[in-house]
């Protein structure tokens, strides 16, 4: 179906190098990039890929490593000269310097939670015996690496609180190493699990836990090899990983992934199976009894066949399991099933309603329900039969998360945050509906100085799209147009909700506005909203984002020439696509860790999962759609482009950095006007998770200084 050929004119290698740029008085010259005459014939179309060699791993290819070093030298030299950078670096650091707590997890009489004193590179894990007990430091990852880039990722205590399993993330990679410690002594045990990825930790008593892993990659391929043949295994404490028992696998279908959970009463293990990123799952249950403890085998019984619908386990009590599902309910509902009466199937407990159900949890003898109404959180408490509704007051536009707990225990914790409110943690008693603070942040700014609005605008096809807008109150009151940072994502059923960011607050303090567009492709309005922005509907996402920018200008929120855009991962793809489609609309753009080559994304690491949202590059109908918007393939030479700062990281094994490398090389090679097209490549960092504070501050300062410089945002003077 496709024919690959290379054409070389003798031994000549083509190179590209940008001319000096000086529109802002800061001369810059792009590094040379070797260009190959490589062309593929795909469905009758000739597709050039001159920078494919930049897909090679920077660790093993010296030419790629040299290209990275040369690009970083040019970029860092330019960014260091930006007059706005020093202020952003200082102010972001100041805004981050406050005590931050994670949500407590209760196990036995112990409470486990994370805490960052302010500017620590990584949060520490603490434990208390009793809610009012003295905090005791259990894990401090800040000593694990000199550069702070080795992070504590997931952690899960055994149900009695005696042991704790935790995963370690190094250099931002998606690979995890799982270790175990004795909570009483703090001693790390000899147990070590490698090659875990996209995994939970599900304890069975305190004898061991279920986890998901992939086969060990081929030598030198850990950061690029496709992820296939995921298994669920049981690790028994005190034994080597080689002795771990196979619980569930599908070698005949290597593209399936598997995730394990265990009900609090230890009666059932649930295996959730998926093929891609879509929330379409098969379910198998395993009656535990004493099987996990004695190794008598793992008899998985089918519960839901066919990868057709979303099924999220809430909890199990006895033989009854509760789920959130979108089967016959695009905005989701709560159902229950009795495993001893399979003929009854699933019974509705909470029917679908206008708001989108985000999650549900059993706490005590109540259901706590989290809903999204126009992308803002609301929470309710109901009885297990769905009656007796009580609203949990949140009192502001924001995001509530957490509400984890267990049957029989009325205590739960949740956090609440907004654009002008860092995350605060609250304890909620479901038996009486009372809420008390657990940890409140001490702020270095006045939240009331900032106005949060939710607006709605009309996209190209008439669709009504929500948008959050944040500005200084004085700016909003007089209606002054100011440089604006517009952020979007629009994919994978992911909802963007109000949240605090020290970097965004620095932008606001400098006098800018921030806008968050809830584009189609996300999950803000359930399955229909997601479907309207994926596959052959993907152009709707770009149209929504472009319409948001046009709205901000038309409404006088930002001046023409003052609109900047930012997005990460799928949002990086978004930024790359809309810059190609409407380069005249934006002053500056920053696509982060983006999917930029839509014709080869499925060939690396987790890329094969994304076909649910993007389609298959080797299917002609999908290829036509992907080819039409792929950022790498649609750069419009001869048009003036905004200033572009691409960001990525050398250890990103989610969206491999080759995407950003190739896209940047193509930008720099094209005649796109006098503004810079640069790339910032972080070392020992990945897709975002686990990034140390020092690296995060430096990156955000660079990006915001660049966007401010090209949009005319003037930072405060000392």
CA distance 244 to 193: 9
The candidate with the shortest Cα–Cα distance to 315, out of 264, 373, 259, is 264
What strands, in cross-sheet order, belong to the sheet with 356-363? 356-363, 366-373, 376-383, 390-392
DSSP designation for 534:
S
Helix (H, G, I), strand (E, B) or coil at 88: helix
Residue recorded with tokens 């992070």: 151
Is 501 in the active site?
A: no
CA distance 275 to 404: 27
10 Å Cβ neighbour count for 97?
14
CA distance 531 to 497: 19
10 Å Cβ neighbour count for 308?
13
* Contact between residue 316 and residue 408 where contact means Cβ atoms under 8 Å apart: no
Instruction: Please give the structure tokens belonging to residue 520.
Output: 């189609």
Residue recorded with tokens 């909003």: 476
> Any idea of the CA torsion for 321, 326, 331, 337, to the nearest 10 degrees?
-20
* Widest CA span in the chain: 81
* Contact between residue 586 and residue 642 where contact means Cβ atoms under 8 Å apart: yes
10 Å Cβ neighbour count for 197?
19
Q: Alpha helices of 489-569 — where are they, by DSSP H?
A: 502-509, 527-531, 539-554
Active-site residue, from 569, 590, 630, 711: 569
Is 687 in the active site?
A: yes
Residue recorded with tokens 């957490």: 402
Residues 6+ apart with CB under 8 A from 465: 456, 457, 458, 459, 517, 518, 519, 520, 544, 547, 548
DSSP designation for 621:
H
CA distance 187 to 240: 18
* Contact between residue 113 and residue 126 where contact means Cβ atoms under 8 Å apart: yes
User: CA angle, 138 as apex, 135 and 139 as ends, to 5°?
Assistant: 130
CA distance 529 to 286: 34
The candidate with the shortest Cα–Cα distance to 644, out of 19, 78, 64, 32, is 78
By CB atoms closer than 10 A (0-12, 13-18, 19+), residue 198 is middle
Handedness of CA 402, 573, 7, 2 (dihedral sign): positive
Residue recorded with tokens 């009758």: 44
Active-site residue, from 159, 284, 687, 709: 687
What Rg do the C-alpha atoms of the chain give, in angstroms? 26
CA end-to-end span of the chain:
63
- Known catalytic residues are 569, 687
């Amino acid at each position: 179906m496709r024919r690959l050929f290379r054409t070389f004119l003798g031994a000549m290698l083509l190179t590209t190098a940008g001319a000096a740029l000086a529109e802002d008085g800061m001369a810059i010259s792009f590094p040379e990039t070797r260009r190959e005459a490589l062309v593929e014939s795909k469905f009758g179309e000739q597709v050039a890929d001159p920078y494919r060699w930049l897909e090679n791993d920077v660790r093993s290819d010296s030419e790629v490593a040299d290209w990275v070093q040369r690009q970083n030298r040019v970029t860092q030299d330019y960014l260091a000269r930006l007059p706005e950078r020093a202020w952003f670096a200082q102010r972001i650091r100041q805004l981050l310097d406050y005590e931050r707590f994670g949500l407590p997890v209760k196990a036995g009489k112990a409470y486990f939670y994370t805490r960052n004193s302010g500017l620590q590179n990584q949060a520490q894990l603490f434990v208390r015996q009793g809610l009012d007990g003295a905090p005791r430091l259990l894990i401090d990852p800040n000593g694990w690496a000199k550069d702070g880039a080795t992070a504590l990722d997931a952690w899960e205590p055994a149900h009695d609180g005696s042991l704790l399993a935790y995963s370690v993330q190094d250099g931002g990679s998606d690979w995890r190493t799982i270790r175990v410690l004795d909570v009483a002594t703090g001693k790390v045990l000899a147990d070590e699990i490698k090659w875990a990825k996209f995994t939970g930790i599900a304890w069975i008593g305190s004898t061991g836990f279920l986890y998901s892993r992939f086969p060990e990659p081929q030598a030198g391929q850990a950061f690029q090899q496709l992820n296939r043949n995921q298994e669920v295994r049981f690790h028994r404490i005190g034994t080597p990983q080689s002795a771990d028992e196979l619980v569930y696998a599908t070698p005949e279908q290597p593209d399936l992934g598997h995730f394990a959970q265990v009900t609090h009463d230890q009666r059932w293990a649930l295996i959730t199976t998926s093929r891609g990123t879509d929330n379409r799952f098969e379910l198998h249950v395993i009656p535990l009894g004493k099987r996990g403890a004695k190794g008598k085998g793992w008899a998985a019984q089918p519960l839901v066949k066919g990868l057709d619908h979303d099924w999220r386990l809430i909890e199990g009590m006895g033989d009854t399991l509760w789920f959130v599902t979108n089967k016959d309910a695009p905005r989701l509902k709560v159902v229950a099933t009795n495993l001893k009466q399979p003929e009854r199937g699933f019974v509705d407990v909470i029917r679908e309603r206008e708001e989108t159900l985000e999650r549900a949890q059993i706490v005590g003898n109540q259901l706590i329900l989290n809903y999204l109404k126009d992308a803002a959180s609301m929470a309710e408490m109901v009885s297990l039969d769905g009656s007796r509704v009580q609203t949990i007051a949140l009192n502001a536009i924001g995001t509530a998360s957490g509400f984890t707990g267990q049957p029989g225990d009325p205590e739960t914790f949740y956090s609440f945050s907004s654009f002008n409110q860092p995350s605060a943690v609250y304890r909620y008693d479901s038996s009486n509906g009372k809420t008390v603070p657990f940890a409140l942040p001490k702020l270095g700014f006045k939240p009331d100085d900032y106005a949060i609005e939710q607006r709605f605008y009309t996209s190209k096809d008439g669709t009504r799209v929500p948008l959050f807008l944040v500005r200084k109150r004085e700016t909003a009151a007089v209606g002054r147009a100011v440089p604006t940072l517009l952020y979007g994502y629009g994919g994978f059923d992911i909802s963007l909700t109000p949240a605090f960011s020290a970097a965004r607050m620095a932008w606001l303090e400098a006098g800018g506005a921030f806008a968050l567009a809830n584009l189609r492709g996300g999950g803000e309005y359930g399955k229909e909203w997601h479907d309207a922005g994926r596959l052959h509907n993907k152009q709707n996402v770009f149209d929504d984002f472009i319409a948001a920018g046009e709205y901000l200008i038309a409404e006088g929120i930002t001046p023409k020439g003052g609109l900047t855009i930012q997005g990460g991962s799928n949002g990086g793809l978004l930024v790359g696509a809309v810059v190609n489609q409407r380069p005249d609309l934006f002053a500056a753009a920053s696509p982060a860790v983006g999917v930029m080559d839509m014709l080869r994304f499925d060939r690396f690491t987790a890329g094969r999962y994304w076909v649910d949202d993007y389609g298959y590059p080797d299917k002609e109908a999908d290829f036509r759609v992907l080819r039409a918007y792929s950022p790498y393939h649609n750069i419009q030479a001869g048009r003036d482009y905004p200033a572009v700062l691409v960001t990525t990281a050398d250890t990103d094994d989610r969206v491999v950095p080759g995407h950003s490398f190739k896209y940047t090389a193509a930008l720099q090679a094209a005649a796109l006007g006098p503004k810079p097209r640069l790339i910032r490549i972080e070392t020992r960092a990945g897709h975002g998770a686990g990034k140390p504070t020092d690296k995060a501050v430096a990156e955000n300062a660079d990006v915001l200084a660049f966007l401010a410089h090209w949009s005319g945002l003037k930072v405060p003077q000392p």
